[in-house]
Amino acid sequence: MIDIKLLEKKAEGGPSYYDEYKQTLLNRGASVDALDLVMSQNKKRKELMTQAETAKANQNKVSGEIAQLKKAGKDATSLIEEMGKLAVSVREMEQTAAEAEIEVTNILLTLPNKLRPEVPVGKSENDNKEVKTVGEAKKLPFKAMEHWEIGEKLGILDFERAGKVTGARFTFLKGAAAQLERALIQFFMDLHSEKHGYTEMIPPFIVNTASCVGTGQFPKFVDDVFHLTGTDYHLIPTAEVPVTNYYANEILKEEDLPQKFCAYSPCFRSEAGSHGRDTKGLIRQHQFNKVELMVFAHPSQSDELHEQLTSHAEQVLLDLELPFRRMLLCSGDIGFGAAKCYDLEVWLPGAGSYREISSCSNFEDFQARRANIRFRPNGGKPQFVHTLNGSGLAVGRTLIAVLENYQQEDGSVLIPKALQPYMNGKTKIS
């Protein structure tokens, strides 16, 4: 959430925070109407509070006069009536100010994060900046199949029966595909916990509304989440939601930062607004598995830790020997809560394109302000931590990448060396 105090702060020898934030909205392609509205509502709230305080001071003064009149045995009826009217007026002003404060908070919850200066200005994914490419985009010496063709030919992916059991965008993983999915999860968790220093976590897969507000899913993306009717519970769209809120409304010790977690969870997304996109295969499912990397950082370390977290996600692709590229997302493609974000895109020979397999974001204090997660510097006042997260990796999309990059002309699929110990020594799916 954006700090209203920073928006009000006047500039000293340069553009104000308000001016910079307004430019962020324009660069994101967003309307500035909500910004203007929140500023006017906050001005109204402050004016009402000032009026209420002035009226209270007058109320205290009149109360003193009434006491003196009574002490002197004089009639104070008119002043008592005046004070009664004043008390009603104060209550009305305080009520209106409280309503204005709620309105200010509600508007602030809809405003996206302020972008870092290095985020390129652009309108869509076509304007993202390629930071680096690792490995060659494979051109197979035969006609490459897409992952769903491979899976159906091998009898390890069943979309038709999943459609019968549930509906569109669900899949049965069978045999080697189920084993490969399980192997990928364990490989990711082992790598991040044993080599990268993250604490393993399996979080709740259901969260409350406050948690979704804390990470920025609500209110803006409420339609993207599956809700449990009649409750305040929701299926998680990502482990980011429960893990970020692990420290909600807490104050951490400065010396305990950074805190790093790797969390496995299934993810559930309604995919509202994605009609007609990636309707075939595993790319855009309502349910999928993911291992999430989550860091609570000291503000002075978040840039460095963002680079580190991204490199940890990249290490999975390096170990699996999958070609990929790192993209710095532009202002028109970056997520609502991110101040800066890298996407890792893996090469898919069957599709003949790079596809996103991980987003690694630095949210700075945007989520921490919403979830009230702070740390106390030695001898200082509590400050908001910075939060960072990224997929390490999306399991289903990694399975896609393995099937397409390791496919053979005879229809079989080789198993990457890094995964063979997790597949009981199996070297090929055939």
Active site positions, annotated = 269, 284, 356, 359, 397
Locate 128 and state its tokens.
């993202």
| Gap between the Cα atoms of 103 and 98, Å rounded | 9
Residues 6+ apart with CB under 8 A from 266: 205, 287, 288, 289, 290
Locate 293 and state its tokens.
């990397």
Give the ranges where 195-294 is alpha helix by DSSP (H): 209-215, 240-244
Alpha-carbon separation of residue 331 from 116, 215, 323 (angstroms): 10, 20, 26
Nearest to 192 by CA among 364, 358, 417, 1: 358
In this structure, the number of other CB atoms found within 10 A of the CB of residue 256 comes to: 10
Nearest to 284 by CA among 301, 267, 296, 299: 267
Using DSSP's 3-state secondary structure scheme, residue 309 falls into helix
Provide the 8-state DSSP code for 142: S
Residue 100 dihedral angles phi and psi, to the nearest 5°: -65, -35
| Gap between the Cα atoms of 422 and 178, Å rounded | 12
Q: Which residues pair with 287 in a beta bridge?
A: 268
Using DSSP's 3-state secondary structure scheme, residue 289 falls into strand
Q: Is the separation of the CB atoms in 292 and 263 below 8 Å? A: yes
| Gap between the Cα atoms of 117 and 137, Å rounded | 31
Locate 6 and state its tokens.
């920073």
| Gap between the Cα atoms of 215 and 371, Å rounded | 7
Amino acid at 59: Q
| Gap between the Cα atoms of 90 and 93, Å rounded | 5
The structure tokens 């990397």 sit at 293
| Gap between the Cα atoms of 67 and 393, Å rounded | 72
| Gap between the Cα atoms of 213 and 210, Å rounded | 5
Q: Is the separation of the CB atoms in 327 and 129 below 8 Å? A: yes
